[in-house]
Amino acid sequence: MGAVSTTASPPAPSGVTTVIQGDVGSDVGGDVGGGGVVDLVRHVEDRSPRGIAAAVARCVRAGDLAVGDRLPTVRELARALGVSPATVSGAFRALSAVGLVASRGRAGTFVLAEPAGWLPPRYRRMAAGAPARLDLSRGTPDPALLPALGPAVARAAAAARLDEAGSYLDAPLVPRLEALLRASWPFAPDRLTVVDGAMDAIGRTLEVVARYGARVAVEEPGFPPLFDLLDQLGLERVPMTLDRSGVRPDALAAALAAGAAAVVLQPRAHNPTGVSLTTTRARELAAVVRLHAARAASDEGVRQRRVVVVEDDHSGQIASSRDVSLGAHLPAQVVHVRSYSKSHGPDLRLAAVGGPAAVLDALVGRRMLGPGWTSRLLQHTLVDLLTDADALDAVADARRVYFARQRALVDALAAHGLVVTPGDGINLWVPVRDEAAALVHLEAAGVRVSPGAPYRAGPGAGEPHVRVTVGALREGTAEVAAALALAARA
- Confidence class for position 126, pLDDT limits 50, 70, 90: low
Residue 180 CB contacts under 8 Å (≥ 6 apart), including other chains: 383, 386, 387
Q: Please confirm whether the linkage preceding 221 is cis (ω < 30° from 0).
A: yes
Q: What is the pLDDT of residue 260?
A: 96
Considering only CA atoms, which of 355, 46, 47 is closest in space to residue 208? 355
Model pLDDT, residue 29: 39
Q: How confident is the model at residue 4 (pLDDT cuts 50, 70, 90)?
A: very low
- pLDDT per residue as tens digits for the range 311-338: 999 999 999 999 999 999 999 999 999 9
Chain segment 15-51, per-residue pLDDT in tens:
333 344 433 333 333 443 333 335 788 888 888 888 8
Confidence category of residue 114, pLDDT binned at 50, 70, 90: low
Q: What pLDDT does 17 receive? A: 33
Give the phi and the psi of residue 151 in degrees, each rounded to 5: -60, -35
Tell me the mean pLDDT in the region 146-165: 82
**The dihedral sign for the CA sequence 401, 222, 448, 437:** negative
pLDDT at 311: 98
pLDDT of residue 159: 80
Give, as one character, the DSSP assignment of residue 265: E
pLDDT tens per residue, range 252-263: 999 999 999 999
Domains located in the chain, CATH noted: 17-111 (1.10.10.10), 121-144+391-488 (3.90.1150.10), 149-386 (3.40.640.10)
pLDDT reported for residue 147: 97
Look at residue 462 in the predicted model and tell me its pLDDT: 75
Mean pLDDT (the chain) is: 87
Which pLDDT score, from 0 to 100, does residue 25 have?
33
Residue 487 in this model has a pLDDT that exceeds 80: yes
Query: Residue 113 pLDDT > 80, yes or no?
Result: no
Q: Confidence class of residue 3 from pLDDT cuts 50, 70 and 90?
A: very low
Point out the least confidently predicted range of 27-31, 159-163, 467-471. 27-31
Element (H, E) at 361: helix 357-367
pLDDT on residue 107:
81
Higher pLDDT, 155 or 25: 155
- The 8-class DSSP code of residue 269 comes to S
Sign of CA dihedral 248, 252, 253, 254: positive
Find the farthest-apart pair of alpha carbons in the chain and give their distance in angstroms, rounded.
80
Q: How many CB atoms lie within 10 A of CB 125?
A: 17
CA distance 157 to 168: 19
Counting residues of the chain whose pLDDT is more than 70, the rounded percentage is 87
Statement: the pTM of the whole predicted model exceeds 0.85:
no
- Residues 71-109 pLDDT 10s: 999 999 999 999 999 999 888 988 887 778 888 877 889
